[in-house]
């Protein structure tokens, strides 16, 4: 052997990878993949991955723009000007917020990429960030990957939550650099009204701490509720930024288009990092996204009605099963407290495993989003109403010992018709491990 070194060759990954927490869902994901391989019809309400199609007029524009060779070159890492301008126009139209497309808007490869790189742009080793618990996992992992530390504060949407944050700001040294907010919230579907942000901005100014609001579900609202934009708060642009996305309102999750808007220095820091890491989206995706932002308001409204109806079916069914469930007025999720008698002393991870095993229904265990998620499950509105009803029947049978109407391996014609084609694609992706770690809790 060259050099005579007989020691086994080792690969030592970076400390930043070693800092990531252990993966809690391997067992559940493995069971889901096994079941699908065995031909079981798993009803997957685990991930907030939209099942409905992107708008036809947007797809048509993508195809047209893809035929133009001038769109085949590298694009701009911050997004083309016309896309950033369209985002600014939409903020003005919907929230009355003025944004300079040149300095206050940057396009990101989905808001998840944007958020993650923003943490890299803002944090140094040992910096601390306040995050509510439970939280969308990347709000914690991106901080860890950037070398920072998360200070978890029990989640809320009121004075008490802000008082808990203030307590941390007052007493922690060095003082946290940043507060992550996320309303409408994933996973807890918690919402706020405008005065909440006014108090948050005052807190940020008083303690010189930045605010990043993740507004991924800003347009996915029900019952006439309109989620306020953090940026519409006076003074917000001085202290922070807001992430938005095409993924949820326009069913364009796979297109990977998001935005970071607000404070120009923060936007510049993110743009700088992105300038080193990427060349921006494929230009036709940006051209098509412009059209979605310009002409897609009605599409977004209709999609909200679809989620609203699914939510009604799910909430009513869960209550019938015996669970205490709040009616969410936004987001793509129902955050449900599992009845004690159904938990039967188990944690939410084991409980979800059992429901998957016995009812062929996949949900995201609350514990995966933080300690305060224990005892809850997150159920995504990503199956049609018939399939949600079917999931509820199967859960009722498994948990309350009622008769199961349809065996998964012996589907009725109606069930087959109710099954979206995406379930088949999901099964293939699960088998290939394509969703990787995020298959249950990612979206
Ligand atoms: C709160 C929240 N932020 C961000 C994202 C990621 O969105 P994007 O597709 O824009 O990366 C999700 C996806 O589920 C989410 O729930």
Number of folded domains in the chain? 2
Read off the pLDDT of each residue in 40-63 and give the average, rounded to a whole number. 96
Structure confidence at residue 3 (pLDDT): 60
> What token pair was written down for 399?
């948990």
**Do 246 and 332 reside in the same domain of the chain?**
no
- How many A from CA of 183 to the centre of ligand 1? 12
Segments forming the whole domain that contains residue 386: 13-53+298-441
d(CA 329, CA 342): 26
- How many A from CA of 186 to the centre of ligand 1? 9
**Do 326 and 434 reside in the same domain of the chain?**
yes
Q: Percent of the chain scored above 70 by pLDDT?
A: 90
**Do 158 and 233 reside in the same domain of the chain?**
yes
Contact 247, 253 (CB under 8 A): yes
**Do 248 and 386 reside in the same domain of the chain?**
no
Q: Considering only CA atoms, which of 23, 45, 49, 22 is closest in space to residue 32?
A: 45
* Beta strands across the sheet bearing 258-262: 105-108, 258-262, 240-245, 210-214, 178-181, 128-133, 149-154
Residue 212 predicted with pLDDT over 90? yes
- The total number of residues written for the chain in this structure: 443
Query: Which residues make beta-bridge pairs with 43?
Result: 361
Q: Which of 261, 280, 296 is the C-terminal boundary of a domain?
A: 296
DSSP codes, 141-204? HHHHHTT-EEEEEE--SSHHHHHHHHHHHHH-SSPPSEEEE-SS-TTT-----HHHHHHHHHHH
**Do 60 and 34 reside in the same domain of the chain?**
no
**Do 38 and 85 reside in the same domain of the chain?**
no
Structure confidence at residue 142 (pLDDT): 96
8 domain residue, yes or no: no
Most ligand 1 atoms within 8 A of CB, residue of 48, 50, 106, 111 to mutate = 111
**Do 240 and 172 reside in the same domain of the chain?**
yes
* Nearest CA owner, ligand 1 atom 1: 186
Structure confidence at residue 156 (pLDDT): 94
Query: Which residues make beta-bridge pairs with 233?
Result: none
CA neighbours within 13 Å on the CB side: how many for 272?
A: 10
Lookup result for tokens 């019809």:
41
Read off the pLDDT of each residue in 261-276 and give the average, rounded to a whole number. 98
- How many A from CA of 440 to the centre of ligand 1? 14
Read off the pLDDT of each residue in 15-34 and give the average, rounded to a whole number. 86
Average pLDDT of the chain to the nearest whole number: 91
- How many A from CA of 257 to the centre of ligand 1? 10
**Do 71 and 34 reside in the same domain of the chain?**
no
Query: Which residue ranges have their beta carbon within 6 Å of ligand 1?
Result: 48, 110-112, 136, 182, 186, 214, 216, 245, 247, 253, 258, 443
Residue 403 predicted with pLDDT over 80? no
Q: Which of 274, 296, 318 is the C-terminal boundary of a domain?
A: 296
No. of helices (H) and no. of strands (E), the chain:
18, 13
Q: Which atom of ligand 1 is nearest to the CA of 112?
A: 11
* Nearest CA owner, ligand 1 atom 13: 443
**Do 431 and 307 reside in the same domain of the chain?**
yes
| Of 344 and 438, the one with more pLDDT | 344
Structure confidence at residue 405 (pLDDT): 54
**Do 42 and 60 reside in the same domain of the chain?**
no
Contact 100, 264 (CB under 8 A): yes
Q: Which atom of ligand 1 is nearest to the CA of 442?
A: 14
Q: Which of 270, 296, 322 is the C-terminal boundary of a domain?
A: 296
Contact 191, 146 (CB under 8 A): no
Read off the pLDDT of each residue in 396-413 and give the average, rounded to a whole number. 67
Q: Which atom of ligand 1 is nearest to the CA of 185?
A: 1
Most ligand 1 atoms within 8 A of CB, residue of 45, 137, 186 to mutate = 186
């Amino acid at each position: 052997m060259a050099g005579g070194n007989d020691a086994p060759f080792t690969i030592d990954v970076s400390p930043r990878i070693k800092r990531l927490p252990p993966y809690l869902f391997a067992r559940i994901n493995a069971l889901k993949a096994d079941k699908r391989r065995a031909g079981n019809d798993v009803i997957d309400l685990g991930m907030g991955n939209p099942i409905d199609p992107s708008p036809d007029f947007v797809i048509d524009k993508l195809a047209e723009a893809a035929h133009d060779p001038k769109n085949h070159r590298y694009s701009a890492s911050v997004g083309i000007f016309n896309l950033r301008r369209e985002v600014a126009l939409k903020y003005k139209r919907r929230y009355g917020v003025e944004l300079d497309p040149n300095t206050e808007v940057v396009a990101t490869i989905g808001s998840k990429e944007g958020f993650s790189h923003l943490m890299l742009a803002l944090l140094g080793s040992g910096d601390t960030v306040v995050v509510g618990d439970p939280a969308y996992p990347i709000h914690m992992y991106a901080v860890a990957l950037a070398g920072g530390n998360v200070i978890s504060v029990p989640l809320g949407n009121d004075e008490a939550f802000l008082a808990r944050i203030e307590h941390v700001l007052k007493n922690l040294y060095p003082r946290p650099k940043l507060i992550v907010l996320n309303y409408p919230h994933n996973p807890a579907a918690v919402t706020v009204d405008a005065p909440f942000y006014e108090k948050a901005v005052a807190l940020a100014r008083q303690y010189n701490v930045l605010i990043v609001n993740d507004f991924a579900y800003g347009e996915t609202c029900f019952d006439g509720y309109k989620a306020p934009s953090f940026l519409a708060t006076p003074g917000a642009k001085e202290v922070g930024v807001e992430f938005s996305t095409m993924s949820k309102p326009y069913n364009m999750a796979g297109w990977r288009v998001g935005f970071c808007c607000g404070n120009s220095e923060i936007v510049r820091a993110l743009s700088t990092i992105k300038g080193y890491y990427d060349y921006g989206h494929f230009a036709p995706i940006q051209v098509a996204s412009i059209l979605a932002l310009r002409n897609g308001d009605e599409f977004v409204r209709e999609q909200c009605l679809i989620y609203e109806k699914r939510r009604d079916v799910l909430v009513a069914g869960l209550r019938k099963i015996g669970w205490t469930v709040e009616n969410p007025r936004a987001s793509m999720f129902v955050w449900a407290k599992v009845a004690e008698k159904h938990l039967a002393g188990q944690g939410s991870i084991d409980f979800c495993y059992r429901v998957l095993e016995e009812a062929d229904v996949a949900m995201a265990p609350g514990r995966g989003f933080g300690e305060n998620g224990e005892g809850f499950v997150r159920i995504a509105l990503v199956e049609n109403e018939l399939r949600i009803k079917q999931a509820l029947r199967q859960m009722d049978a498994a948990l309350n010992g009622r008769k199961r109407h349809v065996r998964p391996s012996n589907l009725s014609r109606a069930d087959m018709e109710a099954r979206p084609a995406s379930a088949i694609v999901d099964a293939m992706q699960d088998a290939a491990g394509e969703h990787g770690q995020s298959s249950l809790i990612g979206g």
